[in-house]
Structure 1
Amino acid sequence: MRILILGGSRFLGRAFAAEALDAGHDVTVFNRGRSGPDLPGVTAVRGDRENPADLERLVAEGTAAGPWDAVVDTSGYVPKTVGAGARALAEAAGAYLFISSASAFADFPSRPLTADSPLFDCPPDATDGEYGPLKAGCERAIRENFPGRVLVHYPGIILGPHETSGRLTWWLSRIARGGEVLAPGDPKRPMQLIDARDIARFGLHCIEAGDPGRYLLAGPKGHTTFGEWLAACAQTTGSDAHFTWAPDEVLLEHEVTIWSGLPLWSPQEGEAAAVWDKDSAPALAAGLVCRPIEDTVRDTWAWLKDAPSLADEDGRINGHGLAPAEEQRILAALKH
């Protein structure tokens, strides 16, 4: 197939490009060339999706050999911009796969999710707002311009090589330093993590199969726990780290920022009670395969060791993680 990826040089877009190339597809990427090098083997068209002239040039250059079979959009965030791009591409591609987010659902993360849960009410021409509603508006904008030809996937927490958000990467960096590590909440708390490469492989499978389903993408229930995840980090890094688990109420008392202070931690009650309760069974039945979390941790560490440092002077990555002094203060308080 001929595949156009809007993005294609960072994390999830890069994973799609790599999986598509490995499958033998003809891959075009459209990006500004600022976020990183394109993978060898792709056809790169430079441009900004906010610039109509760049979109016109993309269509002219990219379809010289015929239309694309599908567009893969991993970088759409503003409905009005996404809608303009979809209009420009409507006659140049057969299908449009939009990678949305679990955050597009109005009930997330307070209530369990299915792919039929209600989306936020965001218009298709919105230009500003919060992340989740904007993702819902982007989907509406695409459906207006690719009627009957849209695939929408809603990932949960995405991990894997080239992840720079600071979720797995911060934990790997911290655990690699060894010693006593502050761990959050309950080590038996189940998690539904998913590797970017598995999202890409499933997305391409759906395009190839002509499957227009709406799917929640997350690891199957029982895939891993917080304790198993951190233990995999310790084993992978060869660290002597040992974990001291702090109850939710202690972390709240010490004003640890939910979700980012200790990445992916949130209390098991309240507004984020169902953050790890997504119904991924339909996607699994349709062909989604989630690799063991140990494989994701291993491959991410192999990449991270050779990557430029992502951390600031306090060891945080993209605002994620605790400064060493703060971690030690909480660990000391737990002993009294």
Structure 2
Amino acid sequence: MNASRRDLLKLGTLAAAGSFLPAAALANAGSGVIEKAAKPLRILILGGTGFTGPFQVNYALARGHKVTLFNRGKRPSPEWPGEVEQLHGDRNTGDLKSLEGREWDVCIDNPTSLPFWVRDAGKVLAGKVGHYLFISTISVYADGSKPGMTEDAKLAEYKGKDAMAETMETLRADIENLYGALKALSEAEAHKQFGDQVTIVRPGYIVGPRDETDRFTYWPKRIAQGGEVLVPGDGLDPVQIIDGRDLGEWMIRLAEKGTRGTFNAVGPDYELTMDSMLHGCHAVTGGKVTFTHFPVADIPEDVGLPIWVPREGTPFSGYGAVSNAKAIAEGLTFRPLATTVTELLTWYRALPAERQAEVRAGIPLDKEAELLKAFHAKQGA
């Protein structure tokens, strides 16, 4: 089926990401002078070296906060523009010893998809942090088929034997059934461990520089190549994306304000369709390109078209039109699509040639040409 359910269920927070450019060079690009926060905070970030984490770190430092990272130390640490404390441990094995006996004003939990990670963090940090912010996902909703989902929609139910016994291995083995349900249980565990001092942030597709999944990157990259581009459907299906920098920086502002609650962190703040997104990419890339709307029924099951979500007829049709009114009211803002595309391509084109040659999402050129040829032959018959 077009955009695969596996891809949709991951929706951003399983997106591992490294970077070949300093995160500081990407954070806050074009956003002007960053003012200091009214009160400096001691912020603990669980993770911090993946996709959105470095943007949180850089923005927090620019705002005058003190930052501590906790992770396994497996990834090269980005070049920070200020002092960052690094603590190591492994949440897979319950090794959180380096967090013991410490206190922070805020904890931001970026990478968690397993309830026992939250439980174990609570054992060490409950009463030691004043505010716990958890990155979840819109995949927690039980029914993703209808547009306009708000934060109080019913959540997915776990149907396994023991949620606390699930591991990254069991999650990957059955991600379609487990991902949303385990995220929902992780949210519940956060409230159990930290009470009402919790903020839940539910993103959809996270895009922009540092995104190693290539899901959104496929489109500006493909359009820059020129020629005939296969566009699924009639081009009117809604699209929701959020730049990783907008997400990361907003979470720091939520921490500064002490905002509690649950928020759908999806964007933009206007109706974006597949056609308008693609033409927005073309406005940046330029070049000769034609867009051909391709019938949904003719898209093979094994062909994935990233970011695109059919607006009807699937269990996840509503994922392209989730309500973000609550988050916007709480200060979530979005940089222009052109800015995201421009800076994404700058980052991507600085990656090694062999990495750019990889096809991590979308249709290979030869397969796209084959489908388009068959489509035109059918039209002319």
For the pair 1:241 / 2:296, whether they are aligned, the reply is no
CA drift at 1:326: 1.0
Residues 48-59 of structure 1 mapped to structure 2, 5 A cutoff: 48-53=90-95, 55-59=96-100
2:126 to 63, 78, 90: 90
Aligned to 1:14: 54
CA drift at 1:45: 1.6
1:181 to 229, 239, 242: 229
CA drift at 1:59: 3.2
2:164 to 115, 125, 130: 125
Q: Note the aligned Cα RMSD (angstroms).
A: 2.1
Q: Which residue identity is paired with 1:322?
A: I
State the distance in 2 between where 1:181 and 1:16 align: 35
Q: Which residue identity is paired with 2:221?
A: S
Distance 1:13 1:176, change over 3 A: same
Aligned to 2:32: none
CA drift at 1:16: 1.4
Aligned to 2:243: 195
Aligned to 1:298: 342
Q: Which residue identity is paired with 1:274?
A: G
Q: Which residue identity is paired with 2:375?
A: L
CA drift at 1:134: 0.9
Task: Identify which of structures 1 and 2 has the higher relative contact order when contacts are C-alpha pairs closer than 8 Å and 6+ apart.
Answer: 2
Aligned to 1:43: 85
- Indicate if the aligned counterparts of 1:59 and 1:92 stay in contact, CA closer than 8 A: no
Q: Which residue identity is paired with 2:55?
A: A
- Indicate if the aligned counterparts of 1:187 and 1:227 stay in contact, CA closer than 8 A: yes
Q: Which residue identity is paired with 2:124?
A: A
1:210 to 258, 264, 282: 258
2:106 to 70, 76, 98: 70
- Using the size of structure 1 for normalisation, the TM-score is 0.89
State the distance in 1 between where 2:94 and 2:125 align: 11
- Indicate if the aligned counterparts of 1:180 and 1:241 stay in contact, CA closer than 8 A: yes
- Using the size of structure 2 for normalisation, the TM-score is 0.79
Aligned to 2:201: 153
Aligned to 1:30: 70
Aligned to 2:138: 102
Q: Which runs of 5+ in 1 are unaligned?
A: none
Q: Percent identity?
A: 36
Q: Which runs of 5+ in 2 are unaligned?
A: 1-40, 172-177
Q: Which residue identity is paired with 1:125?
A: M
Count of residues paired in the alignment: 322
Q: Which residue identity is paired with 1:331?
A: L
Q: Which residue identity is paired with 2:283?
A: Q
- Indicate if the aligned counterparts of 1:83 and 1:142 stay in contact, CA closer than 8 A: yes
